[in-house]
Structure 1
Amino acid sequence: MSPFSRVLSTFFALIIVLFFLINTTTISSSLFTKINAFSHFLATFHGKNNHHYSSNDQTDQPNLSLRRSTWRNPFIAFKGINDISPSSVFTKKNISRAISPDIAKCGPVELPPNAITLPYCCPILPSPLKIIDFKEFAKPNAPLRVRKPIHLLDDEYMAKLEKGIAIMKSLPENDPRNYIQQAKVHCVYCNGGYPQKPPFQNLKIDIHRSWLFYPFHRWYIYFFERILGNLIGDPNFAVPYWSWDSIEGMQMPKYFANPNSSLYHHLRDPRHLPPYIVDLNYHVNAESTTQDQQVKYNLAFMYKQMVLADTKEVFMGGVYRHGDQAQPAIGSVELAPHNTVHKWVGRADLPSQEDMGTFYTAARDPIFYPHHSNLDRLWGIWTSLDGGRKDYRDDQDWLDSEFFFYDENLNLVRVNIRDSLDTKKLGYVYEEVELPWLNASPKPSRSKLQRQEKKASLLASSQDPMTTTITKFPLVLDSKVSVVVNRPKKLRSKLEKEREEEVLVMEIVDLHSDKDVKFDVHVDDDEEMLSGPDKAEFVGTFTSVPHGSHKSKTKYLVAISKVLEILEAEEDENIVVTLAPIVGKGLVSIGSIMVEYIPK
């Protein structure tokens, strides 16, 4: 080999090393600039000796292969590193795209611009970094912890919860089991503290509005429960649940309203102390109603969010893989009652309804944990409906998605979703209560003839530019508006409806993440006199919890097969969808509305 060939070989070897580093490490912009300049030098050198290099050969399209064309400028693929797409990286179907946070690269979280506190939410990491994989499954014959509804518990049991919270609050601030440190776990996962792993380190992880919502919170409550039980010397202690979906549990538990208790929190809405009935469709401008009427509203609302939401996409949220943008689609119960109860508890007179009303501080309120214990219970109930509903357990990326938590022995533990699917293997079950919402199917507010006449009138006037019926998008939702949406299929057979759910899909764009936003969705309703939550025409609500300072986008899915049956509208070629902004008018836009058919 000639000396010149050896020089070229050395240069090419160096190129390969640098190419590998770029794909496996996070590179600052300044370093990237230097590498890019160096690559141009190499390319020029190579071009002078091969007489075919030209700057016109460059391309801005991401290219992660080492084809001959890229040797002319081996780092050209990274000119737009923020624009790398999953399809250009994951070229083989068997490559895992499971989400896993890069915990060593944790950084400041995104807060609302008017945040009342500025927490640093990253966890305290051991040095050197040591992580163990979760293997603490319950032994086959070991007694199971039983999570019970708070309204059925006695003072003695609740005293244990009070004691555990008090001990956690007294621990040193640098102890991962400290109460505020535990609260920061929620903050860092929900407000973009963790980046995805390379080459998508520019994308922040958010466990909300996606298929990560339920399993993340299941693990979160699990480790919180283990820590608390260890601190009080009772490994069988279980975090109780706040059963706001049952009639007896539809008020803030009295134990959390005692100012002398560790369960008390000063940043709560003082109007909502017991015996005030919780509003599962709450918003800050909500008008008061009678207790009996509120219970009726709540039960019908739960029926819609649980029973009608019969596909995994509608109930659990959208698919979220490595390389994807966060918040692909939000699930029904995550929207409400999850979001609404958060805001019902938080202070309405604070900028972001702290503490429960915004994600960066929500877990500072002790009622957060019984609230999410109930949501975990509802996930289990949903999977048991209709003889067993399908979740995402046939998707390897969902099963392999990872989170990190500290256990009661100060070990940093890596967990995945696959190990969370059976609560008995995690050592706990739920004591059930009656589910009155299972039989709370809503009724129409008007007769079929009245609806048809109103709909015909609206369709006839839809060509008039002065009416509120529109067909153009994007739509800034600053006032009540109706949209005519075509149905690709009508008069579906029973078998077709058993196989596929008819779903109203709304693309949410330009959502102001730092603001409280809520709008209700109605189908074939009277725009001038919209129905309440207990009526069939009211099909859902979109409500956001402030947790950032940017504009975001997501999707909102509403199952309407059963609704169309109730409204006797299955033979109609279209439906009229009315969007009614309740809070935050003009702070969200709708990119599109369409009907899709999703397999069950």
Structure 2
Amino acid sequence: MASFTLSSPCLAFSSSSSSSSSHSSTSPLFFSAPSQLLAHKKRNQTRLRVSCKSNNSPNNNNSSDDAASASAASRIIDRRNVLLGLGGLYGVTNLAGSPFASAADVDVAIHYPNVSKCHYPSDVPPNADITGTCCPPVPTDDVQDYVIPTGDPMRKRVRAQFASEEYIKKYEAALTIMKNLDPTHPHSFPQQANIHCAYCNGGYQQFGFPSQEIQIHNSWLFFPFHRWYLYFFEKILGKLIDDPTFALPYWNWDNQSGMTTPSMFLPTTSPLYDVNRNPNNYSTSVVDLNYKGQDRGLTNDELIAENLVAVYRSMVTHAGTAESFMGAKYVTGTAPSPGQGSVENIPHTPVHRWVGDSVNQPNGEDMGNFYSAGRDPLFYAHHANVDRMWAIWQKVLGGQEFTDDSWLNASFLFYDENGQAVRVYVKDCIDNTAMGYDYDYSSLPWLRSKPSPVNTAGAAAASNAPFVTDVFPVKLDKVVQVKVSRPKTSRTKAEKEKEVEELVIDGIEVATDQYSTFDVYLNDADQPDGGKDKAQYAGGFAHLPHKQESSSTMKTSLTLGLNDLLEDLGAEDDDTILVTLAPQLGGPVVNVDSIRIQYTAR
């Protein structure tokens, strides 16, 4: 087994090559950081400007320079350092076709973190229950590129609701061993749980940009990070019980047969139990995939109907492009949380909050807050189903991922089942079956849960509501209804197949430490009612509490697909639509800058 230490040696940085290039099997633990870094502004985001100018000054390896360089107004990355120092993140052909081009702007993938510089998470509430830090042991061996084993038996993830007694005993045995390990061991349950804390609550800074943290939520990193996270958690559990076929269960909350807490997680004597769960949302309660922080007084049948529509909206209506489904682009030098994908938003976030104990715990621990979510074994079953949604989007619905190098080459660091610190890449986790696991069959009733059409043609024209440009930005302390102009109307089927019309709600500012939600309705009454299974309900926004780098607020965005919605509302020929934002538990700060319509190529 590879060695590791709790001391803090200087850890190397390296990243993958482009998807068509090979990478070396190891990266040295010590080498020089880029000596020049320039923040180049474009489209209101800080990006890396790559200059072909050479720098004759030697690289400075002193880590104390990080703080000074962070305050600099600009940074430069020498082209040689980008291509070589960052491990050939982009081949020279990707840089204007020539390594000697005068200059080129490239988006550089988020780089796996320097574990030796991991620190107490900056994005946790002041009363967070954290012992020490969320940081993993620092590797003493070289960090290796992980190679997915071949020839192993396919691991089958089973529906948690229908797991056999034999399976449950096996899972309990593996988790018991994990929980009994030395808590400083990278395979121990506290260390596994802390992975989520460090990556999600500001324990790491971006390579070359120490003022910007790494955040794997609210962006296109959400799905691939969590896929790798569960992959190694699963492999480690199998290793602990010497069973390479062991696979995690998944909580299929997208099917009415799985919409209650799986029974294996309920016995208080089981290692699968977690005391920090909401006592009001337990046992036989039907999960609310649109959860607003409290019981909404719906019957089980009403909840089930709304849940199925919620999944349909996230998997079909709002999943027409890679960005709308997977999340917004997030690269080195840019601020975290540019925007959630449809499934991360709903139902992923409401399920977290529904499970977490907001009754007895100050911050909704465990599942209801990022820093503590991984402490509940139910987290891994929940995220297994989230991962299954990605696989369904790919293989059933024909979804196509990003092809950007800055997505494919994003990298993370984990400890594998042998205790080796490994570097993994997004491009290697796109196909779950190639990673050696698949999902037990569960039907998809939400595919048949599209709301019934209702004719609302002319609703905006008949309304006295103001145009969005006349009243925004606004504070959502009440229901707000506005008209939004559509640049294109009466689009043909071919045009809609080529481009997705999307409603973009920009500059959503929320209190980072509060569970914030609001609903979005189209062509509805100024005080919408009638449930979330009607055609006018477009979707919603949900934010799981976590601070963001010494800030009490954060800004993000929400994108909702309009192609199906406008067709179902009979409003395809209207040049304006009526948009209603209905806040729920917004906390002290929920502001919105603007609402607009965009057209995104499929």
Matched, 1:21 2:23: no
Looking at structure 2, the residues matched to 32 and 558 of structure 1 have their Cα atoms a distance apart, in angstroms, of: 36
In structure 2, give the amino acid aligned to 1:502: E
Per mean C-alpha deviation after superposition, the further-off stretch among 580-589 and 558-567 is 580-589
Counterpart in the other structure of 1:571? 573
> 5 Å matches for 1:248-263?
248-263=257-272
Greater strand share, 1 or 2? 2
- TM-superposition CA deviations, 1:119-149 (whole Å, max 9, x none): 410111133x52111013322xx42011111
Identity of aligned residues (%): 39
Aligned mates of 1:205, 1:440 — CA distance in 2: 37
Partner of 2:279: 270
Alpha-carbon offset, residue 30 of structure 1: 6.8
Q: Among 136, 155, 158, which residue is 1:145 paired with?
A: 155
1:378 matched to 2:389: yes
Distance 1:571 1:455 in 2: 12
**In structure 1, distance between residues paired with 2:75 and 2:330:** 23
Cα distance change on mapping 1:63 and 1:455 into 2, 3 Å: closer
Matched, 1:123 2:136: yes
Larger helix fraction of residues: 1
SS of structure 2 residue aligned to 1:244: coil
Give the residue type in structure 1 aligned to 2:295.
A
Structure showing greater Rg: 1
Residue equivalent to 2:241? 232
Identify if the C-alpha distance between structure 1 residues 30 and 531 changes in structure 2 by more than 3 Å, giving closer, same or farther: same
The answer for unaligned runs of 5 or more in structure 2 is 1-53, 79-101
How much does 1:94 deviate?
6.1
CA distance in 2 between counterparts of 1:208 and 1:229 reads: 27
Measured in 1, the distance between the counterparts of 2:172 and 2:119 equals 32
- Structure 1 segment 536-547 matched on structure 2, within 5 A: 536-547=535-546
Q: Is the 8 A contact 1:476 1:586 kept in 2?
A: no
C-alpha contact 2:465 2:483 (8 A) present in aligned 1: no
Deviation of 1:581 (Å): 0.5
Given that 1:470 and 1:482 are in contact with CA atoms closer than 8 Å, whether structure 2 keeps it comes out as no
- 1:107 to 2:146 alignment: no
- State the secondary structure of the residue aligned to 2:65: coil
Structure-to-structure mapping, 1:544-555, within 5 angstroms: 544-548=543-547, 550=551, 551-555=553-557
Is residue 162 of structure 1 aligned with residue 166 of structure 2? no
Q: Give the Cα–Cα distance (whole angstroms) in 2 for the partners of residues 32 and 425 of structure 1.
A: 40
2:192 corresponds to which of 176, 182, 205: 182
Equivalent residues in 2 for 1:383-532, closer than 5 Å: 383-386=394-397, 388-392=398-402, 394-444=403-453, 447-448=455-456, 452=458, 455-458=460-463, 460=464, 462=466, 471-532=470-531
Shift of 1:92: 2.1
Q: Displacement, 1:166?
A: 1.1
Query: Any idea what SS the aligned residue of 1:425 has?
Result: helix
Counterpart of 2:229? 220
Q: Unpaired segments of 5 or more residues in structure 1?
A: 1-14, 34-59, 67-89, 464-468
Partner of 2:40: none
Count of residue correspondences? 520
Distance 1:134-1:561 versus aligned 2 partners, 3 A rule: same
State the one-letter code of the partner of 2:348: H
Residue by residue, what CA displacement relative to the aligned partner does 1:313-349 show, whole Å, maximum 9, x if unpaired?
Answer: 1110001111111111111110111100000101122
4+ residue stretches of structure 1 with deviation over 6 A? 30-33
- The question of whether the paired residues in 1 share the 8 Å contact of 2:120 and 2:203 is answered with yes
Q: State the shift of 1:32 in Å.
A: 9.6
How far is the alpha carbon of 1:201 from its aligned partner? Answer: 1.9
Within 5 A, what are the aligned runs for 1:299-310? 299-308=308-317, 309-310=319-320
Contact between 1:470 and 1:481, CA under 8 Å: does it hold in 2? Answer: no
**8 Å contact from structure 2 (residues 518, 582) kept in 1:** yes
Alpha-carbon distance in 2 for matches of 1:144, 1:385: 20
Residue 288 of structure 1 and its aligned partner are, at CA, apart by 2.1
Q: CA RMSD in A?
A: 2.3
TM-score normalised by the chain length of structure 2? 0.82
Provide Cα deviations, 1:526-548, integer angstroms capped at 9, x if missing partner: 12233421011111110110011
Q: In the TM superposition, what whole-angstrom CA distance separates every residue of 1:64-94 from its partner, at most 9, and x where no partner exists?
A: 499xxxxxxxxxxxxxxxxxxxxxxx94256
Query: 1:118 deviation in Å?
Result: 2.8
Matched residue SS, 1:310: coil
Other-structure match for 1:535: 534
